[in-house]
Chain A
Amino acid sequence: MHYLTDIILIALGAALINNFVLYYFVGICPFIGVSRRIDMALGMGFAVTFVISIAALLSWTITTFILAPGAPVSKWVAGFFVSPEAAAQVDLTILSYVVYIFAIASSVQFVEMYVRKFYPSLYRSFGVFLPLITTNCAILFACLIIFSRIVGVDNPADAWDIGRALTLAAFGGVGFTIAITIMAGIREELELCDIPKPLRGAGITLIVASVLAMAFMGFTGVDSGLRKVLAPAAVESAQSAEK
């Protein structure tokens, strides 16, 4: 039950409350560049959701088994060269950025080849966006959050498992899709408006995004309210522990 509550809260948080685009400002480039038409925006959104989930799986696996301090695989490999005590302290976290970006770039390449070969119709709908996604900050951002939730926690039992990591990434992608689709809908209507010349293009898009971000701020606090409804016992015990 506690686990389910956690998953629901992570999903809501990633998709709406702390929306990747409108709260964390990641993935702004496609948000402004590819939000001219609804069908393109949807294609981009699906592509990002797809890749972000794969990247999250990869980064969770790599972090847990190789990069984190005392991770099983690196401990085993180091065990051949140094004493077991020293091997347990092997910490490869400094390599994380290089490893993540490499994992993202190669997984995007593989996904592109796979989709092109086996799902040509899917490739036609969002394949063109795939190479662009390598440099989409939303993907790396999801990997970094997962990294901080595995390595940054004080108590090893609090480290995220794969379900939480995947939920965060997939719903972060859904949040991106929601934001970019709303934006595309508004921009299709904006075509009919008489916008002052200097603001045409990116300027008015940013101002509309500002209003959207204000609307999404309305979700603030939904998570704590939900937590009270879903797990009243856990909230009470946490509050009494604070006292």
Chain B
Amino acid sequence: MPVAPTAAERFIQGILPENPVYRQLLGLCPTLAVTNGLKAAMTMAGAVAFVLFCANIVTSVIRHLLKPHLRIVIFTLIIATFVTITDRFLAAYMYDMSKTLGPYIPLIIVNCIIICRCEVCASRQSIVTAGADALGQAGGFGLALASIAAVREILGTGLLFGVQILPATWPNWVVMILPPGAFMTLGLLLGAVNWIELRRSERADKKRG
């Protein structure tokens, strides 16, 4: 039986080796929908991180009380509660951003990353492990969102965080901030990540002889 990974290992695994977007293909709806600007993407990543962390902690605390056939419902209710908190918070303190993100904040409830982490990790592990796991996955999700949003914002508007990056003569590729650009960017970045992974495993094979 393999040794269960420790808290630190889980944290590192979430960021790159088991990146929720690039490696597990989870939570693609917000990944595509809110990445036309880096600011919106980072707000989204923050919201997901908060919900994921709280949901993981609460699930871990009540893990001995969970009944197997009811657990998914319980997870969903916990997540929905924290999403409501996030949504009200954003509406109160970042009104413009909450208007921009619109229905994608409530849609965090059905984000597969969070349910998946509750099911795979938090419902079996102690609070510390679950927390570290949540932070790692949230970090990986944030990294993925940031990479996609940066590509789309720079190519689509020539700006990054609203600051001019490319020369003003840059012909804005408007399609990049429209829906087709989202699919295209994620598809190509996914290909790039897979390519790096393939190269690495090939090199490792060669070294082994």
Residues of A within 8 A of B (CB): 22-29, 32, 94-95, 97-98, 101-102, 105, 134-137, 140-141, 144-145, 148, 196-199, 202-207, 209-211, 213-214, 217
Contacts and interface: CB of A to CB of B under 8 A. Distances in A.
A45 B115 CA distance: 23
Interface in B36-60: none
Interface of B: 25-26, 28-29, 32-33, 72-73, 76-77, 80-81, 83-84, 87-88, 103, 106-107, 109-112, 115, 175, 178-184, 186-188, 190-195, 197-198
Contact of B179 (A23, A95, A198, A199): A23
A152 to B, nearest CB: 11
Given A97-B84, A144-B106, A202-B187, 13 more contacts: A22-B179, A97-B106, A98-B77, A101-B76, A101-B110, A136-B110, A137-B29, A137-B111, A199-B194, A203-B191, A206-B186, A207-B183, A213-B178
A217 B178 contact: yes
Nearest to B26: A29
Nearest to B187: A206
Contacts of B76: 101-102, 105, 134
B14 to A, nearest CB: 19
A98 B80 contact: yes
A97 B198 CA distance: 42
B87 A26 contact: no
B112 A135 contact: yes
B23 to A, nearest CB: 11
Nearest to A196: B191
Which residue, A28, A32, A105, A204, has most C-beta atoms of chain B within 10 A? A28
Nearest to B28: A28
A28 B107 CA distance: 13
A207 B188 contact: yes
Nearest to A18: B179
A19 B106 CA distance: 19
Contacts of B87: 97
Contact of A102 (B77, B112, B183): B77
A25 B32 contact: yes
B198 A141 contact: no
A23 B72 CA distance: 29
Contact of A197 (B73, B179, B181, B198): B198
Nearest to A94: B84
A97 B84 CA distance: 7
Contact of B33 (A24, A134, A136, A148): A24
30 contacts: A24-B33, A25-B32, A25-B179, A26-B107, A28-B29, A29-B29, A94-B84, A97-B84, A97-B87, A97-B109, A98-B84, A101-B76, A105-B76, A135-B110, A136-B110, A140-B106, A140-B110, A141-B103, A141-B107, A198-B191, A199-B187, A202-B190, A203-B190, A205-B187, A206-B187, A209-B183, A213-B178, A214-B180, A217-B179, A217-B180
A144 B103 contact: yes
B148 to A, nearest CB: 11
Which residue, A134, A135, A137, has most C-beta atoms of chain B within 10 A? A137
A148 to B, nearest CB: 8
A29 B110 CA distance: 11
A221 to B, nearest CB: 14
A206 B188 CA distance: 8
B194 A203 contact: yes
Which residue, A27, A95, A207, has most C-beta atoms of chain B within 10 A? A207
- Nearest first, the 4 closest Cβ-Cβ pairs linking A and B are A206-B187, A210-B183, A198-B194, A198-B195
A134 B112 CA distance: 11
A26 B29 contact: yes
B4 to A, nearest CB: 26
B77 A25 contact: no
B80 A105 contact: no
Contact of A25 (B25, B29, B112): B29
Given A137-B107, A141-B103, A206-B183, A199 B29 contact: no
B26 to A, nearest CB: 8
A98 B81 contact: yes
A128 to B, nearest CB: 17
Contacts of B181: 210
